Amino acid sequence: MNLAALRREPRTPLALVRRRRAEASALLSSVPARATIALHGTPLLLLDPERVSRQYRHLRRALPFVGFHYAIKALAHDAVLDVLDEAGSGFDVATGEELAMLTRRGVPASRIIHTHPIKKPAEIAEALAAGVRTFVVDNDVEIEKFRGAPRDTRLLVRLAYRSPHAKSDLSSKFGVGPFEAAHLVEQALAAGISIAGFSYHVGSQLDDPTRFAAAAADTLELMGILERRLNVQFDTLDIGGGFPASYDSESAGIEDVAAVLRPVLEPHARRLDIIAEPGRVMVADAMTLVTSVVGVAERGDGRWYYLDDGLYGSYSNVLTEDVHPLVFSERDLRGRDAANHRWATLGGPTCDSSDVIAREVLLPELQVGDLLVSPTMGAYTTVTATRFNGRPFTPVVVVGRGATTGEIAVASDARRVAIV
Ligand SMILES: Cc1ncc(COP(=O)(O)O)c(C=O)c1O
């Protein structure tokens, strides 16, 4: 299959499935992946860090005046942090633990922003001591926590934009409207705390470029109004994350979002430090899950296949985010049994009835031990997995250019497996 030709195909649902199938097939027949699966068994997450740096370069090309800070909550894996650190990316953290992952590896604090709107005072103190200066607030109690902080501390007020189209509408938990935002800026000024600008998150997996542009335009308008009314000057606009990934249907690409954002943002790029916190779009495509069938049953609603990973494990994105990664069988990828397909339900491995990964999946006749492959499993998968039923975390193994074929080292923490 010619991958370059497939990439030029029109963006139809079928074209996406064909592209993903070609990628999964190429991966599964590669020597490192085969060796890894043979050595390690399943379930297994195969991570290609080169795809992460490719996405970073893509974002930089599309919006060259934006400073990107990878939201490490999406996939906090060493190999991902390595390639992004090397590429000069900034990082976005939400907790002291995420910050420690970066400081341990020597990432300068000047490249780290802390964007959780609610933080323990001790966590703020630790972040300030580490040298982090950019933080997000969305209420007066949080602003008070910064009384006495170093003068170069930069607070961003988080705005809320409702995102009914997004898979995860983050405005229901955090952020304020324009009137409350104005009040918070005034309150901060009165307390001698300066506000550097504003941040927002349009909603995660938001497949609607016009919402990105509208949020940026509305925020810039609010900034202008407040600057005139309060006689202040803001210098930072944080446009958050939200860029979508293509799971089971083609979503807007980086270029589509950038095309509507550029004309809104570019006129302000000289005056403002424009930053972003993408998570999902950087890593979603970089990881592939390999599972195997552990059970087959004929039930009232048809054929069921039970897999060795599920909603409480790597497919936690299905449960928490309502995204639906494609599932291919190795038999299909190898072109076997083409005529013999039927609809099936895919159950996860835990002993409860919620753990159903997908229904109505068209699959060939499968047997215990057959492999299944899900692409687009990089974001919010291993990081949100649990150990329900005592099941271990699915190991992440680095393949592709980020790894050398050789001995596979399995650390005691199963999340940190790498080819060395
Ligand atoms: C504050 C903040 N920044 C960035 C992100 C990353 O968003 P996404 O993965 O949609 O790009 C999130 C996701 O929850 C977030 O809460």
204-233 pLDDT, tens digit per residue, is 898 999 999 999 999 999 999 999 999 999
Residues contacting ligand 1 via CB (< 6 Å): 71, 74, 92, 115, 170, 201, 204, 240-243, 277-281
Task: In whole angstroms, give the CA distance from residue 238 to residue 136.
Answer: 10
Q: Is residue 300 very low, low, confident or very high in pLDDT (cuts 50, 70, 90)? A: very high
Give the list of residues 6+ apart from residue 29 with CB closer than 8 angstroms, or none. none
Report the pLDDT value the prediction gives residue 2, as an integer from 0 to 100: 42
The mean pLDDT of 45-69, rounded to a whole number, is: 98
242 in the Ramachandran plot: left (φ > 0), alpha (ψ -120 to 50) or beta?
left
Judge contact between 113 and 134, C-beta under 8 A.
yes
Atom of ligand 1 nearest to the CA of 241: 11
> Residue with the nearest Cα to atom 7 of ligand 1?
241
Q: Which of 208, 277, 287 to mutate to test the pocket of ligand 1 (most atoms within 8 A of CB)?
A: 277
Task: Collapse the DSSP code of 290 into the 3-class scheme (helix H, G, I; strand E, B; otherwise coil) and give the result.
Answer: strand
* Whether the predicted pLDDT of 287 surpasses 50: yes
Least confident of 157-161, 190-194, 238-242, 249-253: 190-194
Report the pLDDT value the prediction gives residue 10, as an integer from 0 to 100: 55
Could you tell me where in the chain the CATH 2.40.37.10 domains are found? 3-47+284-419
- Tell me: domain 3-47+284-419, CATH 2.40.37.10, correct? yes
The mean pLDDT of 181-193, rounded to a whole number, is: 94
* Distance, CA of 270 to chain centre: 29
> Residue with the nearest Cα to atom 5 of ligand 1?
241
- Homologous superfamily (CATH) for 115-278: Alanine racemase (3.20.20.10)
The mean pLDDT of 332-361, rounded to a whole number, is: 91
Judge contact between 58 and 86, C-beta under 8 A.
no
Q: How remote is the CA of residue 353 from the centroid of ligand 1, in Å?
A: 30
In this prediction the pTM is 0.92
**Catalytically annotated residues:** 351
Q: Other CB atoms closer than 10 Å to residue 2's CB: what's the count?
A: 8
Could you tell me where in the chain the CATH 3.20.20.10 domains are found? 115-278
Judge contact between 270 and 306, C-beta under 8 A.
no
Q: How remote is the CA of residue 233 from the centroid of ligand 1, in Å?
A: 27
Report the pLDDT value the prediction gives residue 204, as an integer from 0 to 100: 85
* Whether the predicted pLDDT of 4 surpasses 60: no
Model pLDDT for residues 359-383, shown as the tens digit of each residue:
999 999 999 999 999 999 999 999 9
Report the pLDDT value the prediction gives residue 412, as an integer from 0 to 100: 29
Atom of ligand 1 nearest to the CA of 242: 10
Report the pLDDT value the prediction gives residue 335, as an integer from 0 to 100: 83
Atom of ligand 1 nearest to the CA of 277: 4
Judge contact between 379 and 325, C-beta under 8 A.
no
Q: Which of 59, 63, 68, 170 to mutate to test the pocket of ligand 1 (most atoms within 8 A of CB)?
A: 170
The mean pLDDT of 5-10, rounded to a whole number, is: 46
